[in-house]
Amino acid sequence: MHSNTQPSYIETLPAEVLARILLLLKRDQDRENIGEGYGSPLEPVADVLTQVSRCFRNVARGCALLWTTVAVEQATPVDRVQAYCLLSGSAPLSLRIHLDEKWRASPPKVDHVFKLLNTLLGHSHRWQSLSLYLGRECTVERSVVAYLCTSAAPILKYFTLSISGIDTIDTTVAFSTPTMPTVFAQGTDGISTLRLRGLAIHAFRPPLQKITTLHLDGTLPVPISYEAFTDILTTPWHLTRLSVYGDAVYNWPVVYNPLSAISVPKLESLRIHSNDGVAFQGILLNINAPLLRSLALKSMMENDLGDAGALSVSLPQVEDLAFGDFDLSEVGYAVVVRVFPSIETFRLGHTTLGASKAFKVLSTVLDPGHGPLGAVPVPWPRLQTLQIGVDTQDEPWLLQDLLRNRREMGHPLSRVEAITAQQDFDGRTEVEKWVAEAIIGEELDVDVMWDRGEIRWPFHLDEDHVDSDDNLFD
């Protein structure tokens, strides 16, 4: 803490410049929280800054945008929430509400929670983002969802609803058409990014027509029917991004049928995780998405796309492919190359070339009609960018050989993205040295990037919104 009589250099900056720096600190903390989910251990940057010095406190309290993220748990003091709502002025609010089962332990605790919610309700016209987690929801008496989500939130764009348990489910709601909203039915028609997790997939649905990004997180063994899944996907007018986690759907058609196919004409990006592998074929066989360009697959194992002679689907429109936590043999890669023949960018995340069979498959010229690739002599002839994990214990010649072989095939790479979990200076320096040795003599762009290992999705970060709830694809 600096002395008030001897201000530091940064405290001599104009207040508006210092406020901008403080907002950059808040943005960086928000990005650090990606993947942390609810209950992040980081103290809100606005609270920390008010304790640095009188100068920082005055600037922070005068900067409304520092106070726009309001985190609420069952023990949060009411005056704290009131202070955030006051100091944020008229700026749009991002609410993060986390209530585990303990919030219903006693009538006083329930009363306290509803006092918190009542404070937030007075500012529903400012809600831009709402993330609501409930360990248990009561749909009969004092329902949190009913209390919060029947209000009018005219500027709400980002909505996450995660429910682990519900006392009772009205089956007329759970099995009704998703075109009939059950939350935010009036005065809230601008939601563009929606995440339904756990039992929320069954019981609660906001208006879907304007959804452009949809997350269906099947975290509980309670899947929905393929028919309900189809209705949910085909209701939005311009669905461009879809993420499906877990085995959220049952009774997938095992053979493509045009009558039961899901038409998503605007879909550009798709991400899938499956525990038993069924969802990979279930979605890719039955989805009709002519504009699909980027695809991320997590936990895909051998034969999840079918063996080389069984799969009847080809997705030549996909150009950007990412794998995470996968295990494929050379034959498995051969299936992937055939199913996705037009790949220009291939992302292995933290998986290294030494741990992946991709090295041999992508750098081998095969005679037409022979080998696991069949009639494809050059795997992914349009491949330009390769994203790989770097382990400095691997030999650099692995990457050297791949780059040389691609160049000799007549299909050289133009960019390599090296992913590392090393954040310290010495660790990053070692990675940079390894990469520099591996690309000697090659003409291509190289970028060394830090990443914690999850499949970043969408592949290009949204600068306007930080999705701190995207924590299932780590």
pLDDT, tens only, 322-355: 998 887 888 888 888 888 999 999 998 778 777 7
Q: Supply the pLDDT for residue 474.
A: 66
Of 48, 67, 86, the one marking the end of a domain is 67
Give the confidence band of 104 by pLDDT, cuts at 50, 70, 90: confident
- Residues above pLDDT 90, as percent of the chain: 37
458, 399, 382, 347: CA torsion to nearest 10: -10
Boundary (domain end) residue, out of 12, 36, 67: 67
SS3 at position 417: strand
The number of domains in the chain is 2
Token pair 């199913």: residue: 339
Q: Nearest CA to 196 among 152, 265, 230, 245?
A: 245
Q: Which residues contact 19 (CB under 8 A, 6 or more apart)?
A: 59, 62, 63, 66
pLDDT at 198: 92
pLDDT attached to residue 414: 95
Select from 67, 93, 113 the last residue of a domain.
67
Q: Kindly state whether residue 133 falls inside one of the protein's structural domains.
A: no
Q: How confident is the model at residue 10 (pLDDT cuts 50, 70, 90)?
A: low
Q: pLDDT by residue (tens digit) across 18-67?
A: 667 766 777 666 666 554 444 444 457 677 666 667 776 777 777 788 88
When pLDDT is averaged across residues 358-373 and rounded to a whole number, the result is 63
CA distances for 32 relative to 37, 45, 72, 223, angstroms = 11, 12, 19, 32
Whether the per-residue pLDDT at 72 is higher than 90: the answer is yes
Residue 312 confidence (pLDDT): 64
Does 265 map to a domain?
A: no
Report the length, in residues, of the chain. Answer: 474
Task: Kindly state whether residue 456 falls inside one of the protein's structural domains.
Answer: yes
Amino acid at 283: I
Residue 331 domain-assigned (yes or no): no
pLDDT digits (tens, 9 = 90+) for 373-427: 444 578 899 999 999 888 888 888 888 888 988 998 899 999 999 888 776 777 7
Burial of 464 (0-12, 13-18, 19+ CB in 10 A): exposed
Residue 1: pLDDT band (50, 70, 90) is very low
**Binning pLDDT at 50, 70 and 90, where does residue 367 land?**
very low
**The pLDDT value given to residue 112:** 95
126 Cβ neighbours under 8 A, 6+ residues apart: 88, 90, 91, 92, 93, 155
Q: Within its chain, how far is the Cα of 445 from the centroid?
A: 27
Q: Are strands 249-250 and 193-198 parallel, antiparallel or unpaired?
A: unpaired
Q: Is the pLDDT of residue 13 over 90?
A: no
* Mean pLDDT calculated for residue range 211-236: 92
| Backbone phi, psi, residue 320, to 5° | -125, 115
Structural Rg of the chain based on CA atoms: 25
In a domain, 121, yes or no: no
Residue 293, in any domain of the structure? no
Peptide bond into 253 cis (omega under 30): no
Across the range 134-146, mean pLDDT stands at: 86
Contact (CB, 8 A) for 25 and 31: no
Please report, for the chain, how many H helices and E strands are present, in that order: 14, 18
**Is 204 inside any structural domain?**
no
Strand intervals (E) in 269-384: 269-273, 287-288, 294-298, 320-324, 345-352
Which amino acid would we find at residue 122?
G
Q: Give the structural domain span for 369.
A: 345-474
- Let me know: does 207 contact 189? Beta carbons within 8 Å: yes
- Whether the predicted pLDDT of 457 surpasses 80: no
Domain assignment present for 378:
yes
Question: Which has more confidence, 202 or 162?
Answer: 162
pLDDT digits (tens, 9 = 90+) for 265-276: 999 999 999 888
Q: Of the candidates 33, 48, 49, 16, which has an alpha carbon nearest to the alpha carbon of residue 94?
A: 33
Start-to-end Cα distance in the chain: 37
